[in-house]
Amino acid sequence: GWRAVIVGAGMAGVQTAVALREQGWAGEVVLIGAEQHQPYDRPPLSKAVLLGKAEHSAFDVDFEALDVELRLGESASGLDAGRRVVRTQAGEVPYDVLVLATGAEPVALPGSAGVPGVHLLRTLDDAERLRPVLAGRGEIVVVGAGWIGAEFATAAREAGCSVTVVEAADRPLAHALPAEVAAPMADWYESAGVRLLTGTAVARVVDGAVELADGRRLPADAVVVGIGARPATRWLESSAVDLGPDGAVLADARLRTTAPDVYAVGDCASFPSARYGERLLVHHWDNALQGPATVAANIVADSCADPAPVAYDPVPYFWSEQFGRFVQYAGHHGGADELVWRGEPADASWAVCWLRDGALVALLAVGRPRDLTQGRKLIAQGARLDAARAADPAVPLKSA
Ligand code: FAD
C-alpha cells in the first residue's frame, strides 16, 4: 500500500495527518515526532500552561481511530530522497509521500549555553521548567521584546515576579511593526510594572546576572531568552530539499519541495504568496492550521489519475495576549504601504490599517476583534478602502 510519512508532530504535522484522513487518503499514515509528549498545542505554553491554569495542551485527536501510527521520541536526522527514506536513530523509515513539518527552534543567546538559570520557551518541557521559576516570584530578566518576550513577561508579572525586559532595538516588536505603531506599546510594559530597557544589547549572561553592553549589571534569578526562532531544518542540509537563506524549506505554491513527493508545511517552510507577490515565512499558529489542508489535498490529487492541484495563498493571521490586551494581526504589509490609524495608541483599543494602491492588505487590531474579522474578509477580497472613513473607529470597516 501507499505510505505517507510526516516528520514533526506539532500543529502542522498533526493537522496534516487529520486532513489526509478527512480527504480520503486510504494508505498508511506515519507521524514521527522528536518529543516524548503526546502531541500538543504551543500557544498555551506562554499563557495558561505556563501559569499552571492548565496542566497541558495536548491535542484532542484520537490517532488510533484515525489509523495514524504515532512514533514519539523519534528524531529524523537525514533524508535520502533518491531512495525515499527518512533516517532516524531507530533506523530507516521508507515513504511514498513525505511531509516535512519540523517547525522552528528558538535562537539561543550566544555564549549562554550551559549557564545555569537560562531558559528558552518553545516546548512543554521548557514551560514545565519555567513554572517553578514563576512560583519563586524572583527577579527575572527577559531578553527580547518580541511576541514571546511580551507574553512571558505578562505571565511572570501575573505570577508576582519582578521583570526586566532587555531589547537591543529601540522599541518592542521592531522586526514585526513600524516604529510609529510599536513605539507606543512600550507603555504597556510600564503600566504592567515591567521595566523595559531598549537600545541595549546583552554582553554576557553569567550565573545570577545579565551584563549589558553599556556596563549595567542586572541581577537575575532566571533569564528567559526570546530573540527569535529559525526553521528546524538542519537535518535536511545535505538533502535534495532546497533551503532558503533563512533556513526555511523552499516550498512552491502547492507546498511541494524541490524533492519529488516531498511536501513542507508550518513554521519550517516558506511559500510564494501570489496575494503579496513575495515569499512568506510565517511563524504563527493559523498557518500550521490552514497549510495542512492544502498539503493533504495535493497529496490526494497527485495520487489520482486526474489531479486537481490546489494552491496555498492564505491571508496570514495571528493573535497575541499581552499586558491585558488582545492583539490580532491579519495580512502582510511592507514599508511602502499607506498606514491608517483607527483610534489613538493611548486608547484602550485601536487598530491600524495598511493600504496598497487603496486596497486593504493588512490590519492590526488591539482589543477590536470585530475590526479583525471584518478586515480579514476585506483583505481576502482585495477590497479598496476609503482612507478617511477607515480612520473613524466608530464606523465599521467597509469596502469603498
Ligand atoms: P512546531 O509546533 O514547532 O512543531 C514541530 C514539531 O516537530 C516539534 O514538536 C518538534 O519537536 C518536532 N521536530 C523538530 N525536528 C524534528 C526532527 N528532526 N524529527 C522529528 N521531529 C522533529 N502563534 C500564534 O498565532 N499565536 C500565539 O499566541 C502563539 N503563541 C505561541 C507561544 C509559544 C510559547 C510558542 C513557542 C509559539 C506560539 N505561537 C503562537 C506560534 C505557533 O505555536 C507555531 O506557529 C506553531 O506551533 C507551528 O506549528 P508547527 O507544527 O509548524 O511547528
Instruction: For 108-225, give the CATH class.
Output: alpha beta
What distances in angstroms separate CA 329 from CA 61, 144, 242, 355, one per listed residue? Answer: 28, 20, 30, 14
Residues near 308 by beta carbon (within 8 Å), at least 6 away in sequence: 301
For residue 304, the model assigns a pLDDT of 81
Q: What dihedral angle (degrees, nearest 10) is formed by the CA atoms of 364, 369, 372, 378? A: -150
Averaged confidence pLDDT in the chain: 97
Tell whether ligand 1 has an atom less than 6 A from the beta carbon of residue 50. no
pLDDT tier, 167 (very low <50, low <70, confident <90, very high otherwise): very high
Cell of 317: 493571521
Domain spanning 3-105+229-302 has what CATH number? 3.50.50.60
Tell whether ligand 1 has an atom less than 6 A from the beta carbon of residue 106. no
CA of 93 to the centre of ligand 1 (A): 23
Question: Which overall architecture, per CATH, does domain 324-390 show?
Answer: 2-Layer Sandwich (3.30)
Q: State pLDDT tens for residues 284-332.
A: 999 999 999 999 999 999 888 777 889 999 999 999 999 999 999 999 9
Neighbour tally for 263: CB within 10 Å: 29
For residue 308, the model assigns a pLDDT of 82
For residue 307, the model assigns a pLDDT of 75
Tell whether ligand 1 has an atom less than 6 A from the beta carbon of residue 378. no
CA of 154 to the centre of ligand 1 (A): 20
Tell whether ligand 1 has an atom less than 6 A from the beta carbon of residue 235. yes
For residue 60, the model assigns a pLDDT of 98
Q: Whose CA is nearest to atom 33 of ligand 1?
A: 43
CA of 384 to the centre of ligand 1 (A): 35
CA of 398 to the centre of ligand 1 (A): 35
To the nearest whole percent, how much of the chain has pLDDT over 90? Answer: 97
Q: State pLDDT tens for residues 98-126.
A: 999 999 999 999 999 999 999 999 999 99
Q: Which residue among 267, 270, 319, 322 is best mutated to probe the pocket of ligand 1, counting the most ligand atoms within 8 A of its Cβ?
A: 267
Q: State pLDDT tens for residues 338-393.
A: 999 999 999 999 999 999 999 999 999 999 999 999 999 999 999 999 999 999 99
Question: Is pTM, for the whole model, over 0.95?
Answer: yes
Same fold, 3-105+229-302 and 108-225: yes
For residue 74, the model assigns a pLDDT of 98
Coil/strand/helix, residue 199:
coil
pLDDT tier, 173 (very low <50, low <70, confident <90, very high otherwise): very high
